Amino acid sequence: MKLVVDENMPYVRELFSDFGEIVSLNGRHMTAEQVADADVLLVRSVTKVNQALLAQNSKLKFVGSATIGTDHIDHDYLTSRDIPFASAPGCNATSVGEYVFNALLELADKYQASLAGKTVGIVGAGNTGSAVAKCLAAWGINTLLYDPLLAQQGDPREFVSFDTLLAEADVITLHVPITHEGAFATHHLIDATVLERMKPGCWLINACRGEVVDNLALLNKLKTAPFPVVLDVWEGEPKPLAELVPLVDIATPHIAGYSLEGKALGTFMLYQRLCEVMNTSADKSLTALLPATWYQTLTLNQLPSAAELLRLCRFVYDLRDDDRQFRKIHQIPDGFDNMRKNHRHRREFSALALVNADGSEVDCLSKLGFSGVIR
Ligand SMILES: NC(=O)C1=CN([C@@H]2O[C@H](COP(=O)(O)OP(=O)(O)OC[C@H]3O[C@@H](n4cnc5c(N)ncnc54)[C@H](O)[C@@H]3O)[C@@H](O)[C@H]2O)C=CC1
Ligand SMILES: O=C(O)C(=O)[C@H](O)COP(=O)(O)O
């Protein structure tokens, strides 16, 4: 069999070599000719999988996307061709949760604000929104959930209306798929009108899809009445609105989900699904592939202060490094994609084990709400 795969997918060879020949390609520029004789196609979010890409291929047996979002997939077309499809729901949700938590700590530090008194409005309470809520709950930070679809489905959590969210949230963080139709379409959910209705000085974080925020409206707002903004995703990726970048507090190139664990789990979930489709047993283990837990000696108080918590979070993942690099490269041709391709995968908190200088175990990470072995 021939497997055509996105070159930015870790552990593909370890997991898929038994199935046949692996051809790694640039996902953004994959062509119909390149996939014409593929038996299996494995992509990430930058490959549009549709009739234009697949029309020349009559032997495709499986398409997988190692991502949470599937807006790049023409599901109707795959169904019409009877081609099995799998994505990786939730694979990098912890990574997004930790990114947002780190971003909040950075903003609090920059503006000398306390997170304790803030109310964080989470738009979309699925896997990534819930991961954010978990981090915040562990620190006693008040959250509001807005998710009319889950509310309608009888999810037992408490939900608020969009009006309440706008009226009460000091921070709004976005965790919805990009959708263009229906009562709850998310395209430009945050537009000029909504930006005016947010509480003055409300912080805004977008780590879902760029088009959920009207970037031009945001630019105009920031020019006249600046407020704290974190953008991991941009309208028009890989070419973000150049004028917008200097006006936001933290700017990164769609890497909120780029923990090693999150990316690896995405690949692994496709491996499991392909094994099912091919009726073969999935005998490989993700744990065996991931590098060992790492250890570090840090001196920490039993209950870290906000400053100490920030130091700890920066030790695991220093968001400022990605922000600094992104500001340098975002206008260079291919800068956005090259930064993503060469991104040094950060580990999640679950991969961290800490001991105090005296050798005693540190349990403060459990306060963060992150699962994992703390030593
Ligand atoms: N920046 C990054 O690296 C990443 C971005 N993403 C993006 O984040 C999105 C969300 O991911 P998950 O939370 O895992 O998806 P999910 O499917 O678990 O949750 C999404 C939630 O949004 C809700 N929703 C849909 N329309 C809504 C609306 N108009 N208002 C409020 N809620 C609405 C749904 O009911 C659902 O509960 C993905 O679709 C993807 O586009 C996901 C992973 C990484
Ligand atoms: O999982 C998703 O959904 C994402 O947005 C991905 O983490 C984005 O990464 P790439 O698929 O573009 O590498």
How many angstroms separate the CA atoms of 144 and 147, rounded? 10
pLDDT, residue 373, reads: 29
User: Is 322 assigned to a binding site?
Assistant: no
CA-based Rg of the chain, rounded to a whole angstrom?
A: 21
- Which residues have any ligand 1 atom within 6 Å of their CB? 68-69, 90, 92-93, 96, 123-129, 146-150, 175-178, 184, 186, 189, 207-209, 232-233, 254, 256-257
Q: Tell me the CA–centroid distance for residue 178 and ligand 1, in Å.
A: 8
**Residue-level pLDDT, tens digit, the chain, 375 residues:** 999 999 999 999 999 999 999 999 999 999 999 999 999 999 999 999 999 999 999 999 999 999 999 999 999 999 999 999 999 999 999 999 999 999 999 999 999 999 988 999 999 999 999 999 988 887 788 999 999 999 999 999 999 999 999 999 999 999 999 999 999 999 999 999 999 999 999 999 999 999 999 999 999 999 999 999 999 999 999 999 999 999 999 999 999 999 999 999 999 999 999 999 999 999 999 989 998 766 555 555 455 677 777 887 888 889 999 999 999 999 999 999 999 999 988 888 767 666 655 666 555 455 454 433 222
Q: What is the pLDDT of residue 307?
A: 79
Task: Give yes or no for a contact between 61 and 83, defined as CB atoms under 8 angstroms apart.
Answer: yes
**What confidence tens digit (pLDDT) does each residue in 324-354 have?**
999 999 999 999 999 999 998 888 876 766 6
Q: Distance from the CA of 14 to the center of ligand 1, in angstroms?
A: 30
ipTM exceeding 0.90, yes/no: yes
Which residue's C-alpha comes closest to atom 9 of ligand 2? 45
Spans of all domains in the chain: 2-87+259-277, 93-251, 297-368
Kindly identify the ligand whose nearest atom is closest to the C-alpha of 211: 1
Are 304 and 364 in contact, with CB atoms under 8 Å apart?
yes
Q: Whose CA is nearest to atom 23 of ligand 1?
A: 124
> Relative to the alpha carbon of 210, which ligand is closest?
1
- Please report the pLDDT score of residue 116 as a whole number: 86
* Residues classed as catalytic: 209, 237, 254
Q: Which residue lies with its CA nearest to atom 4 of ligand 2?
A: 67
Dihedral in degrees, nearest 10, Cα atoms 249, 255, 257, 262: -140
Instruction: Report the nearest-CA residue for atom 7 of ligand 1.
Output: 208
- One-letter amino acid of 144: L
Nearest atom (ligand 1) to Cα of 70: 39
Pocket perturbation via mutation, ligand 2, pick of 46, 92, 261 by most ligand atoms within 8 A of CB: 92
Q: Is 257 annotated as a binding residue?
A: yes
For 118-164, write each residue's pLDDT tens digit: 999 999 999 999 999 988 887 788 999 999 999 999 999 999 999 99
> Is 69 a pocket residue for ligand 2 (Cβ < 6 Å)?
yes
Asked, colleague to colleague, whether 93-251 and 297-368 share their fold, the answer is no
pTM of the model: 0.95
Interacting residues of 21 by C-beta distance below 8 A, sequence separation 6+: 1, 2, 3
Domain 2-87+259-277 is found in CATH 3.40.640.10: no
CA–centroid distance, 200 to ligand 2, in Å, is 32
Q: For ligand 2, say whether the CB of 228 is within 6 Å of any of its atoms.
A: no
Contacts of 111 (CB under 8 A, 6+ apart): 228
CATH number for the region 297-368 comes to 3.30.1370.170
Residue 134 has a pLDDT of 87
Would you state the pLDDT for residue 345? 81
- The whole-angstrom separation of Cα 348 and Cα 346 is 7
Ligand 2 pocket residue status of 67, Cβ below 6 Å: yes
Q: What is the whole-number distance in angstroms between the Cα of residue 69 and the centre of ligand 2? A: 7
CB-CB contact of 212 with 190 (8 Å): yes
Q: Domain 93-251 has what CATH class?
A: alpha beta
What sign does the CA torsion over 338, 342, 344, 348 have? Answer: positive
Closest of 281, 289, 275 to residue 13, by C-alpha: 289
Rounded CA-CA distance 144/170 in Å is: 10
* CB half-sphere exposure, 193, CA atoms < 13 A: 4
Question: If you measure from the C-alpha of residue 258 to the centroid of ligand 2, how many angstroms do you get, rounded to a whole number?
Answer: 8
